[in-house]
Structure 1
């Protein structure tokens, strides 16, 4: 099936690709709109970040951080590009890949990949996944001649985790395949080691670029640290488009710490606890009248369909709660909301208030 071209002329109905969850949050609101974990920073992370503040007179040196990240994923350092958050990676891809003829973005997903492509002058086509099919992905939906394909896994905002084999099937010579794994460290499953369905360690797939973030699980959104994994020659092209010293010394210290065995073990434990909290949230939401949880959530958030969601979202704000609107994601509409996973007490309080609103 051929993807339908997106309109290159903004219309009144075109989603606002620049809208993000932080815009939903305000003073006095409990934040269920932003997918960043908020918890005390462990000493093994706080100490090197704090120590790095004493080195701010020197220009950043990324060699140690690059080597640490490479070792974590079983790659040589040349296959790692450190970035100021995962979002910078999308900008570098859009600016550096000037010869792309047919870029395709699979939606619904994080909107920055398409926004960056459009800002760089690319005409973008969309493949829209069907909510009636729980946003499952079929590689055959992507045009055979697409030379740049972008997809999230697990996908924001749907929380769907696609099979790695389906994404790997998209890789081919002459195509750059970008897989956004910003939330891959949230996908622990009982009895499954590591990060299920991640392509971060795959070095055999032509044109593969994996985008990773360290801002979500470790609460580092304000520090801005992420990285790209891929072929050394391709990453060198992206690095040429990157400003000098783009990643700060404290952010590099965080990257080194977060690649350590201690950090990886902590990630696994956090993800296991998150899975239980996510199941609790999904069950509570599913029990409410008119609320449908999309698919089988696998990440740090849950997508729900709720007729009248625009009004419900406003009523929630009046009661002190912020959730993420869904209509700014291509492929969704005004009856969708994204809810971040929090602890069970927060979930119970939130769903009780939501039940009151729905009953009224």
Structure 2
């Protein structure tokens, strides 16, 4: 694990959707970390019903109160956003920081947003040899903004909450991206809802589990002063009426129960994927483990060529070299159902070539 200045050597704005954007209809999508077969019918119907209110300006009070209740917080600690990605832009623009640090490999949008806002960004690079696990002591003491994902995209590592809390200190904003935490059974190691950690800002997304990437809905949990600063940086009515309707229902009792069930199903499907990948260990294929998110990070020989071959066989996977701390020997796979996984493993055998 080491620290380095950020540079422009990675395409920080490359995301999984680029793998399927042009001819995605012909590809099985293992590149995007949105749960398959979503949104469910009941959620589509609820969103559709909200369209009758489009003549009125969006009113986020009910959705904000629902999110606050879901996490046991006062509404003053909640800010609704147009997806978690908007929150990174707000943090970069609104907070007065001098030494931001992003812990990589992780989702690249936080660093991109900081750069766009004129900040110089330092990186703490977690090492493959350490299983991409966090050592809090590696983060420079003078850092006044630290960003980390949990579970981390793309490594699928779930950091102990106690280790992340060790990063907190007076005068520092600690941003924890929990966009995939609801895919972890029991939301182990979650910090959402905690009010005892100084400077803590937790980001949540409702787009991954519920298939709402096109609707854009997420939220920030933080102290009221930070929420106020971010809110002042938002444009007017940043979250649409349909997105607010989705937010309110997706944090309700029914949705939480469904999400919990889905998390256990993802865990079982991930175990099936990992067991299948183990068959290729003798060919140099290695998954980072233990994986805890709805995706798996692989190191394999000639990954770029394998990715191209998989594409010709009908499968889109996420390249890894756009993530700081990784190179072109890595690929990320979204967890899918067992039947899809079995077909993919057959294609992977072909893509790897003769043993």
Q: TM-score interval w.r.t. the shorter chain? A: over 0.9
Verify: 1:254 aligned to 2:246, yes or no.
yes
For 1:20, the equivalent position in structure 2 comes to 15
Query: Corresponding residue for 1:318?
Result: 312
**3-state SS in 1 of match to 2:210:** coil
Structure 1 runs (4+) greater than 3 angstroms displaced: 40-44
Residues 29-64 of structure 1 show CA distances to partners (whole Å, capped at 9, x for unaligned) of 110000001215445423321111000000000000
Give 1:201 deviation, angstroms. 1.3
Post-superposition CA distance 1:70-102 (Å, at most 9, x none): 0000000110000000100000000001x2110
Specify which structure has the higher proportion of helix. Answer: 2
**Mind listing any 5+ residue stretches in structure 2 that lack a counterpart?**
none
- Give the SS at the match of 1:217: helix
* RMSD after superposition: 1.1
* Maintained 8 Å contact 2:39/2:212: no
What pairs with 1:204-219 in structure 2 (closer than 5 Å)?
204-219=196-211
Q: 1 CA distance for matches of 2:193 and 2:163?
A: 16
SS at match of 2:25: coil
Find 1:197's aligned residue among 186, 189, 193.
189
d(CA) in 2 for partners of 1:60 and 1:294? 43
1:111 maps onto 2:111 in alignment: no
SS at match of 1:4: strand
In 2: Cα distance, 1:158 partner to 1:174 partner: 29
TM-score by length of structure 2 reads: 0.96
In the alignment, what sits opposite 2:170?
173
User: Is structure 2 residue 143 aligned with structure 1 residue 149?
Assistant: no
Contact 2:38–2:210 (Cα < 8 Å) also in 1 = no
Answer whether contact 2:31 2:332 (CA < 8 A) is retained.
Answer: yes
* Counterpart in the other structure of 1:239: 231
Which of 313, 335, 353 pairs up with 2:347? 353
Query: Which blocks of at least 5 consecutive residues in structure 1 are unaligned?
Result: 189-193
Q: Which of 327, 330, 339 is equivalent to 2:321?
A: 327
How far is the alpha carbon of 1:176 from its aligned partner?
0.3
Assess if the C-alpha contact under 8 Å between 1:178 and 1:210 holds in 2: yes
Structure 1 residues 149 and 50: alpha-carbon distance in aligned structure 2, compared to 1, 3 A threshold: same
